[in-house]
């Protein structure tokens, strides 16, 4: 419920107003609206221009065109008549789903959706199944939109049920909703959906007369109080008086107009006092109390419902108790929408400090409808100063807070300075959640945001008796009854208010005023007192006596009646002795002595000399100050004094008298003013003397570092002691001395005198002297270096002008050191300063190169490894192998010789310091040409009957030979050997001759000798298979040349019948046929076989005799 007025309201044009043309409509609601003076109002107009893109009455008993739904609905109005008495789309006892979804429409310039809606009424027909009321808070219907073809839906409004049928949605009513800006697309769908219901027999509802009316994009807003014609649809205003604001919604041809009156509640104050009735001389406290003020506030405890003046946008939030509340209702967040947040109206926060609110989140101890919020599903509290375009987070409330404490938690948040503006919005938003009913729920309650009043300007009139007229709560001490008027103004807004309060004063006879002004000393050493006096409730009779009393007596003046209250009367009392004592001035009535008043002061004194100044000791050329005498009294003043004993007098109207600047002693004797004379005392003197000087400065000289240095001295004149100021190389020094010869020390630099002061005077001094300490020359003999023995070098020093070397060395003249030596040079510069330096020359012996070879002789080509055996650390090594080959390497090296003969080998080595030496080994390597092996044979192809071959050796350059005949016989070393090869089978033999030179160089040559084996076989003509051990089988006898794998033997009788055959060369005929012994006689053999060497086939036949 609303408990206070906020600083900034948002007025949204929702309903329809009277239009000039029927093509558009616009109106303002609420109208009128009341704000405090100084508050801001955000006027937002939402006009409507255009024809409905969907208008469905369901009167035809069908859903009709423009809808994407295929849901089953009833058109029989089972819960009673609709608003217009025609059929509606009713979700009674019909199959799920209970969803009506439109097609997508172009609402890119906004618009509104209007429809009739009703919940079932708890079976009003006494048992019917189509009119049950939703009675749980999660059984309600969501009105939603989608801009992605229905893939996701955003809540526009949730029709939250109550636990009975007495809520706002249990009777047919018409509802209109402006299309949210986020839904302004060319393809926006709308739907009404009930995600949760007990079953088809319960929780029924209906929809009727649905209209979707998009805005015409050609229309614009023209606020009459804003310049131009195409204005934003909203403006922020802060009128000081009741004001009408008018907007025209038009496309330039057709227009509609509406106005809203913003009623300004003026600032109101009460002027109050701590006491309305006081006695004389009493005081009372005044104060200004604000009856209302223009401070902003947002207060809503959601009882019994939302205070919509406090809120701008609420997404997926409805008033209810889904997560409980602190008391009464809370703002409960649930549903399938894509956003869950609550955004306040804009508020002036320039004088605001703390926002208080209570939060509860579903947690591990709660269940639907207050479902558990998980990690990351937190609440952020944030603000916007640009109308909601961007937000800045103030604080984040983690869901784990409620896992640890399952209770409502109240937060008090201090607003950061950037949030304190004339127009700030605040938002509570859940960062992440599962978009479903009873999931990740939370609630907000008791939002309280109170702002301090602005700083006002205060003023009080009249000022009579007030301690301060420009503060809120002055103290008032009037002597008469006074009506005080208080005024306040807010300098920021111009809002103002006034009020008055009366203080009634009751008095006896009372003096209300007494002033006393004392004159200076007058003639006769006296003075007078004059002033004003006033009173109230005077005794009427008697006299008014004013008395002045000091140490010298009482002096008075008497005033006679008549006496008039609150009237000023003047008095003067003269002849009062000027004795400087306290004086009391008292006024009283003779007939009412208790009615009196007094004041205190001090009597003036006789003229006197207070001080004398300006004297002193002055030096020649000084500007001499005047002798000044400070006096008091009533001028003009006359001072009598003596100057060096001679009487003087000086008169001046000023209280500071100038006696001049003549040197001498001034002695004051008396002072007189316009009416009084007094003895005076005071002495001062002006004395002059000569200036001190510096007569001579000496002792400076040039030195070298390390020399003994003398002091600089200055001779001075004047009266000591002296203080001498001088600089050394610009640095100021000061020295005091009672001697006229002053030692200034011996630090290096130029001493220049600047000033001298003696006992009384100072003077500019002149003179200078210098101590120069020359640095020693930086003699450099050079860096140490190494040379090779026998080399010449020269030493060349630097840094001075003249040089002397030890060891008889002359600068820049060549000499040849014989050994390592350190040389010292002494250098003298132009100032005669001397220093020395050293350099060491290291004499390095030449390297002694040496090497060895792994072979000293070889055959062409021959690879030899040379090993460098030179001692020491070598930088470079060059090998010369005598074949035009020069190779650089200090390691072992392999070289292949390609030419025969004796070779000289040279190794040149260099140390890291460049010392070089070489050695040559003459005829160190001998390389011999290889021999050429060659031979001929007496025959290269032999028959197996004769396998002897005679070889002729035709080799060149060899003196030793070795023959390998390739037949596994021993090698021989004959020059021209004769060799017999095996003859048992056909075969080829590789004969190789190795020819060796005198040092073992070898060459070889090979040739093939072929042995051709002849076929030799024997066929017996008789065999005797009689069972003895001899001649039991007939078979051919082969000795060589046959291919045993291709062999056939046939035995036939005289009729040509084959009685035996064999394909195994080792199997003969045993004289049987089919296991039976044949008769003795003559038989025919037939033999087929193949030559093993050339594959030729042979057929042979003949006769044999079988004898038993």
Beta bridge partners of 671: 639, 678
Residue 1062 clears pLDDT 60, i.e. is over it = yes
User: CA-to-CA distance for 491 and 508, rounded, in angstroms?
Assistant: 44
DSSP state of 166: T
The domain 510-602 belongs to what CATH superfamily?
C2 domain (2.60.40.150)
CATH number of 297-451: 2.60.120.260
- Residue 18 confidence class, pLDDT cut points 50, 70, 90: very low
- Residue 6 confidence class, pLDDT cut points 50, 70, 90: very low
H or E, element range at 695: strand 693-698
pTM: 0.39
Instruction: Over range 238-265, report the average pLDDT.
Output: 87
Return the residue matching tokens 């008033």: 319
What is the domain partition of the chain in residue ranges?
8-46+220-265, 53-212, 269-291+456-506, 297-451, 510-602, 608-687, 693-774, 785-844, 851-928, 935-1012, 1016-1106
Please say whether the beta carbons of 583 and 600 come within 8 A: yes
* CATH architecture, range 8-46+220-265: Sandwich (2.60)
Average pLDDT, the chain: 88
Is the backbone peptide bond immediately before 30 cis, with ω within 30 degrees of 0? yes
Tokens, residue 777: 């020359």
Model confidence over 708-765: pLDDT tens digits?
999 999 999 988 899 999 999 999 999 999 999 999 999 999 999 999 999 888 899 9
C-alpha dihedral sign at 238, 244, 249, 252: negative
What pLDDT was estimated at residue 260?
A: 87
Residue 3 clears pLDDT 70, i.e. is over it = no
Phi, psi of 403 (to 5 degrees): -65, -35
Radius of gyration of the chain measured on its C-alpha atoms: 69
User: CA-to-CA distance for 575 and 554, rounded, in angstroms?
Assistant: 10
User: CA-to-CA distance for 77 and 44, rounded, in angstroms?
Assistant: 39
Phi, psi of 401 (to 5 degrees): -60, -35
What pLDDT was estimated at residue 530?
A: 95
Tokens, residue 475: 């103290």
- Residue 28 confidence class, pLDDT cut points 50, 70, 90: low
What pLDDT was estimated at residue 372?
A: 92
Please say whether the beta carbons of 769 and 698 come within 8 A: yes
Instruction: Over range 1103-1107, report the average pLDDT.
Output: 90
Domain covering 1016-1106, topology: Immunoglobulin-like (2.60.40)
Domain 53-212 matches domain 693-774 at the CATH topology level: no
User: CA-to-CA distance for 32 and 243, rounded, in angstroms?
Assistant: 10
User: CA-to-CA distance for 795 and 824, rounded, in angstroms?
Assistant: 10
Instruction: Over range 288-308, report the average pLDDT.
Output: 76
What pLDDT was estimated at residue 389?
A: 83
Taking the chain, what is the end-to-end CA distance rounded to the nearest angstrom?
A: 150
Model confidence over 733-742: pLDDT tens digits?
999 999 999 9
Model confidence over 144-200: pLDDT tens digits?
999 999 999 998 888 888 776 677 788 999 998 889 889 999 999 999 999 988 888
Residue 827 clears pLDDT 80, i.e. is over it = yes
Domain covering 693-774, topology: Immunoglobulin-like (2.60.40)
Comparing CA positions, the residue from 305, 387, 377, 406 lying closest to residue 347 is 387
What pLDDT was estimated at residue 1027?
A: 82
Model confidence over 193-246: pLDDT tens digits?
999 888 888 889 999 999 999 988 888 888 888 887 778 877 878 888 888 989
What pLDDT was estimated at residue 327?
A: 86
Provide the total of helices (H) and of strands (E) in the chain, helices listed first: 1, 91
Domain covering 851-928, topology: Immunoglobulin-like (2.60.40)
CB atoms within 10 A of CB 696: 12
Instruction: Over range 657-665, report the average pLDDT.
Output: 93
The domain 935-1012 belongs to what CATH superfamily?
Immunoglobulins (2.60.40.10)
* CATH architecture, range 269-291+456-506: Sandwich (2.60)
Q: What percent of the chain has pLDDT over 90?
A: 53
Q: In terms of pLDDT, which residue wins out, 427 or 1029?
A: 427
* CATH architecture, range 608-687: Sandwich (2.60)
- Residue 297 confidence class, pLDDT cut points 50, 70, 90: low
What pLDDT was estimated at residue 403?
A: 93
Question: Candidates 3.90.580.10, 2.60.120.260, 3.40.50.1370, 1.20.1430.10; correct CATH number of 53-212?
Answer: 2.60.120.260
Residue 666 clears pLDDT 70, i.e. is over it = yes
Residue 651 clears pLDDT 90, i.e. is over it = yes
Return the residue matching tokens 């994009």: 217
What pLDDT was estimated at residue 11?
A: 36
Residue 58 clears pLDDT 90, i.e. is over it = yes
- Residue 945 confidence class, pLDDT cut points 50, 70, 90: confident
Return the residue matching tokens 């040849």: 816
User: CA-to-CA distance for 993 and 996, rounded, in angstroms?
Assistant: 10
Comparing CA positions, the residue from 879, 880, 878, 881 lying closest to residue 896 is 881
């Amino acid at each position: 419920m609303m408990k206070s007025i906020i600083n900034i309201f948002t007025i949204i044009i929702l309903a329809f107003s009277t239009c000039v043309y029927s093509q558009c409509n616009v109106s303002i609601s609420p109208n009128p609206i009341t704000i405090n003076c100084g508050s801001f109002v955000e006027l937002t107009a939402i006009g409507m221009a255009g024809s409905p893109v969907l208008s469905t009455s369901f009167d035809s008993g069908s859903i009709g065109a423009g809808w994407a739904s295929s849901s089953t609905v009833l058109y029989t109005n089972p819960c009673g008549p609709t608003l217009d008495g025609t059929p509606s789309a009713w979700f009674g006892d019909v199959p799920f789903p209970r969803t009506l979804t439109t097609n997508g429409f172009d609402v890119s310039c906004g618009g509104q959706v209007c429809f009739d809606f009703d919940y079932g009424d708890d079976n009003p027909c006494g048992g019917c199944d189509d009119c049950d009321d939703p009675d749980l808070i999660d059984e309600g219907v969501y009105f939603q939109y989608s801009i992605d073809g229905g893939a996701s839906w955003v809540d526009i409004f949730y029709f939250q049920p109550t636990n009975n049928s007495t809520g706002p949605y249990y009777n047919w009513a018409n509802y209109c909703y402006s299309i949210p800006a986020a839904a302004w697309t060319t393809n926006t769908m709308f739907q009404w959906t009930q995600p949760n219901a007990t079953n088809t027999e319960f929780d029924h509802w209906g929809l009727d007369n649905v209209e979707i009316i998009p805005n015409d994009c050609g229309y614009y807003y023209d606020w009459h109080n804003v310049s131009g014609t195409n204005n934003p649809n909203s403006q922020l205003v802060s009128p000081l008086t009741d004001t009408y604001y008018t907007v025209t919604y038009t496309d330039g041809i057709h227009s509609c107009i509406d106005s809203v009156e913003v009623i300004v509640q003026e600032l109101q104050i009460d002027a109050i006092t701590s006491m309305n009735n006081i006695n004389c001389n009493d005081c009372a406290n005044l104060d200004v109390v604000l009856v209302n003020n223009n401070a902003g506030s947002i207060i809503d405890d959601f009882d019994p419902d939302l205070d919509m003046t406090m809120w701008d946008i609420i997404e997926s939030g409805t008033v209810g108790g889904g997560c409980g509340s602190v008391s009464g209702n809370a703002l409960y967040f649930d549903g399938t929408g894509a956003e869950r947040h609550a955004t306040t109206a804009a508020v002036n926060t320039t004088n605001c400090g703390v926002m208080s609110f209570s939060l509860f989140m579903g947690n591990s101890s709660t269940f639907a409808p207050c479902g558990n919020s998980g990690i990351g599903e937190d609440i952020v509290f944030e603000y916007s100063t640009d109308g909601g375009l961007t937000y800045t987070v103030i604080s984040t409330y983690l869901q784990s807070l409620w896992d640890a404490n399952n209770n409502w938690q109240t937060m008090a948040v201090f607003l950061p300075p950037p949030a304190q503006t004339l127009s700030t919005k605040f938002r509570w938003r859940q960062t992440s959640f599962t978009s479903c009913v009873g999931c990740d729920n939370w609630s907000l309650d008791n939002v309280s945001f109170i702002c301090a009043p602005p700083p006002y300007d205060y003023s009080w009139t009249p000022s009579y008796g007030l301690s301060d007229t420009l503060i809120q709560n002055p103290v008032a001490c009037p002597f008469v009854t006074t009506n005080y008027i208080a005024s306040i103004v807010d300098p920021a807004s111009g809002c103002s208010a006034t009020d008055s309060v009366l203080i009634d004063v009751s008095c006896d006879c009372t003096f209300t005023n007494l002033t006393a002004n004392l004159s200076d000393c007058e003639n006769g050493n006296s003075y007078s007192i004059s002033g004003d006096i006033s009173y109230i409730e005077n005794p009427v009779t008697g006299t008014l006596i004013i008395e002045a009393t000091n140490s010298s007596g009482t002096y008075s003046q008497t005033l006679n009646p008549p006496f008039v209250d609150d009237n000023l009367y003047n008095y003067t009392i003269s002849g009062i002795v000027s004795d400087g004592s306290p004086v009391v001035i008292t006024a009283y009535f003779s007939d009412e002595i208790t009615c009196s008043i007094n004041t205190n002061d001090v009597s003036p004194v006789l003229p006197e000399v207070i001080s004398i100044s300006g004297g002193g000791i002055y030096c020649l050329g000084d500007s001499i100050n005047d002798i000044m005498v400070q006096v008091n009294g009533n001028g003009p003043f006359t001072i009598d004094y003596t100057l060096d004993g001679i009487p003087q007098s000086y008169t001046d109207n000023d209280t500071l008298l100038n006696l001049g600047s003549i040197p001498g002693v001034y002695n004051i004797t008396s002072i007189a003013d316009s009416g009084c004379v007094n003895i005076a005392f005071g002495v001062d003197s002006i004395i002059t003397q000569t200036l001190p000087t510096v007569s001579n400065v000496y002792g400076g000289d040039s030195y070298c570092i390390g020399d003994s240095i003398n002091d600089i001295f200055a001779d001075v004149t004047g009266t000591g002691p002296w203080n001498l100021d001088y600089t050394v190389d610009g640095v100021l020094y000061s020295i005091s001395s009672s001697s006229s010869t002053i030692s200034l020390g011996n630090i290096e630099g130029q001493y220049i005198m600047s000033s001298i002061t003696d006992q009384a005077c100072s003077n500019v001094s002149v003179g200078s002297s210098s101590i120069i300490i020359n640095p020693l020359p930086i003699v450099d003999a050079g860096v140490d270096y190494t040379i090779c023995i026998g080399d010449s070098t020269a030493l060349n020093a630097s840094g001075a002008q003249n040089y002397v070397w030890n060891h008889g060395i002359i600068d820049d003249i060549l000499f040849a050191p014989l050994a390592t030596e350190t040389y010292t040079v002494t250098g003298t510069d132009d100032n005669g300063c001397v220093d020395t330096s050293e350099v060491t020359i290291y004499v390095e012996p030449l390297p002694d190169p040496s090497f060895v070879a792994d072979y000293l002789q070889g055959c062409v080509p021959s690879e030899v490894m040379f090993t460098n055996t030179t001692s020491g650390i070598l930088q470079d090594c060059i090998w010369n192998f005598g074949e035009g080959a020069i190779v650089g390497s200090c390691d072992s090296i392999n070289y292949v010789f390609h030419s025969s003969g004796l070779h000289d080998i040279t190794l040149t080595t260099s140390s890291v310091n460049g010392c070089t030496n070489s050695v040559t080994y003459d005829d160190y390597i001998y390389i011999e040409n290889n021999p050429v092996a060659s031979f001929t044979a007496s025959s290269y192809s032999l028959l197996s009957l004769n396998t002897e071959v005679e070889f002729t050796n035709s080799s060149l350059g060899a003196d030793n030979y070795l023959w390998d005949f390739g037949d596994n016989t021993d090698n021989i070393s004959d020059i021209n050997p004769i060799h017999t090869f095996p003859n048992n089978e056909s075969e080829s033999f590789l004969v190789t001759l190795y020819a060796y030179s005198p040092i073992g160089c070898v060459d070889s040559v090979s040739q093939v000798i072929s042995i051709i084996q002849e076929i030799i076989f024997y066929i017996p003509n008789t065999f005797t298979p009689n069972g003895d051990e001899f001649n039991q089988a007939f078979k051919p006898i082969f000795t060589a040349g046959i291919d045993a794998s291709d062999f056939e033997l046939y035995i036939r009788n005289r009729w040509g019948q084959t009685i035996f055959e064999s394909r195994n060369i080792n199997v003969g005929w045993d004289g049987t046929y089919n296991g039976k012994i044949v008769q003795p006689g003559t038989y025919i053999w037939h033999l087929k076989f193949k030559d093993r060497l050339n594959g030729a086939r042979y057929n042979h036949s003949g006769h044999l005799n079988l004898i038993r």
